[in-house]
Each structure stands twice: as C-alpha cells, then as structure tokens.
Amino acid sequence: MKMVEKGWRPVLVLILLLIIWQVLVPLFEVPAWLLPTPGQIGLEAVNSWPNYSGHLLATIRLSILGFFIGSTVGLGVAMVLHLVPKLRETFYPLLILSQNIPIIVLAPLLVIWFGFGVVPKLIIIILVCFFPITIAALDGFKQTSSELLHYMKMAGADRRQIFWKLEWPHAMPSIFSGLKIAATYSVMGAVISEWLGAQEGIGVYMTLASSSFRTTQVFVAILLIMCLSMLFFAAIVLLEKRVIRWKTSGGGDSNG
C-alpha cells in the first residue's frame, strides 16, 4: 500500500509524457518509421509476442546466469581484497582503471578471442556486474562500526569470527545496493553481448528490427529491456527485505 501511495507521482508524470507523445506525433505528421506512437508500440508488443518470446527467454537466461557468476566473482574479489590488505592496496586502483575500458570496445575483442559462443557473452556480463558489487561490498566491510569491532576484539574473536559474525552481516545492506545495480546492468550487458552476434536474444531482435527500419519493434525491444531490468531490480529488493529484517523501520527512504 505504501508503494502505491508513494508511487503515484512518477506514474502520473509517465502517463502525462506518453499522452503528450501520443498527441504530438500525428500533429507533426512524423512517419512511423521515424517515431511510432506509444499506442502503436503497445499494439506491436502485444501482436508480435510469438515473434520475440523466444528472444526474451534467451536474454533472461543469459542475464541471470551472468548475474549469478558476476555477483559470485564480485563478492569473492571483495572478500579476498578485504581480508588481505596488501592485495587491496595493489588491486583497488587497477579495479577502478578496469572500469574505464568501454565495454563496447572490449566486446569485439572478446569475440576475436573466444568466438561467438556463450563464453564472451558471459564475460561481458560478468565484467559489468562484478564491479558495483565489489566496490559496494568493500565499502560495507570497511565501514564496520569501530565500536563493535572493538568489542569483538576485546571479547577474543579471531579474524574468521570477526569477518563472519561482524563484517559480513554489517556489509549486507551495502552488498544489496551493489546487487541491485548489478542486476539492472546484467540485462544491459546481455543485450550488448547479443549485438555481437547471437542466434537469439533481445539484442538480436533489436538489430534485426533496426536494420530493416522497423522502428516500432526497436521500441518494443527497449520496452522489454526496461521491464526486465525493473523485474530483476524488484526481485533483489524483495530478497533484501527477507534477508535484512533488523534495519530500523524505513531507514534510508522514509518521509514519502
């Protein structure tokens, strides 16, 4: 209920924008291959469901697999870097540097190295997913309350106990914000990787549509990507609510 109460403003703006779009396109006589109306896009989305359902499924599979591997890698990297400070000092700057390489540039290289199979696609998704998780988890570990750390040390906790009983649960909220970002990135990563050459996927559907000037279908693809990202995001939020029950109510985004 709270979601409905808070959510009506952005929804209203969205509907208003769609209406303006719907009205202006015929008014200025913009042809459909340049910019279709929301109505046309909606109709296309409903009618061509059998055409793209396979593509959609392929993208969902790819992004979920990539997301899982990416988050595991991300958490693993964060844990190793956190537990071995020397490694952290060495690799943290390199980690940031790695994010300055544009994925779009890297993608063709990966195809040259690994072919058109699933491997280069997964690598791309892992690359976009692991970074936000690693950074978020590292920050979370580091921000562990010094008061609690002091207590744990005085109480005789060893390094392993301090990590699993204090730092890990303490970093949970940060890890979840990383996971949320990574979840939405994973869809984008999957689509980019499909552009490179794939049998099926939203990326393929989109390239086919744009090369034949079926602009309406391009918009359908965009719509699908948005919905998928939102769905993934929502799934993580749901998971977060189940895992983190101890937060004081409404921490972060209170005051609607």
Asked if 252 interacts with another protein (CB under 8 A), we say no
Evaluate whether 149 touches 170 at the Cβ level (below 8 Å).
Answer: no
Exactly one of 100, 211, 248, 255 binds another protein (CB under 8 A); that residue is: 248
Asked if 157 interacts with another protein (CB under 8 A), we say yes
Exactly one of 26, 93, 102, 156 binds another protein (CB under 8 A); that residue is: 156
Give CA–CA dist 109/23, Å, rounded: 44
Binding mask of the shown chain, residues 113 to 152, with x at each position contacting another protein by CB under 8 A: ----------------------------------xx-xxx
- Those residues whose C-beta lies under 8 Å from the C-beta of residue 172, and which sit 6 or more positions away, are 140, 243, 244
Helix (H, G, I), strand (E, B) or coil at 155: coil
Give me the least distance between CB of 169 and another protein, in Å please: 5
- Kindly tell me the sign of the dihedral angle through the C-alpha atoms of 10, 11, 16, 17: positive
Give me the least distance between CB of 77 and another protein, in Å please: 24
Q: Which of residues 159-218 bind another protein (CB under 8 A)?
A: 161, 165-166, 169-170, 172
Comparing CB distances to another protein, the nearer of 26 and 156 is 156
Comparing CB distances to another protein, the nearer of 83 and 172 is 172
Asked if 241 interacts with another protein (CB under 8 A), we say no
Comparing CB distances to another protein, the nearer of 151 and 213 is 151
Q: Element (H or E) spanning 106, and its range?
A: helix 103-114
- Those residues whose C-beta lies under 8 Å from the C-beta of residue 157, and which sit 6 or more positions away, are 165, 166
One-character DSSP codes across 199-225: SSSHHHHHHHHHHTT-HHHHHHHHHHH
Radius of gyration of the chain, Cα coordinates, nearest whole angstrom? 22
Contact set with another protein (CB under 8 A): 147-148, 150-158, 161, 165-166, 169-170, 172, 244-248
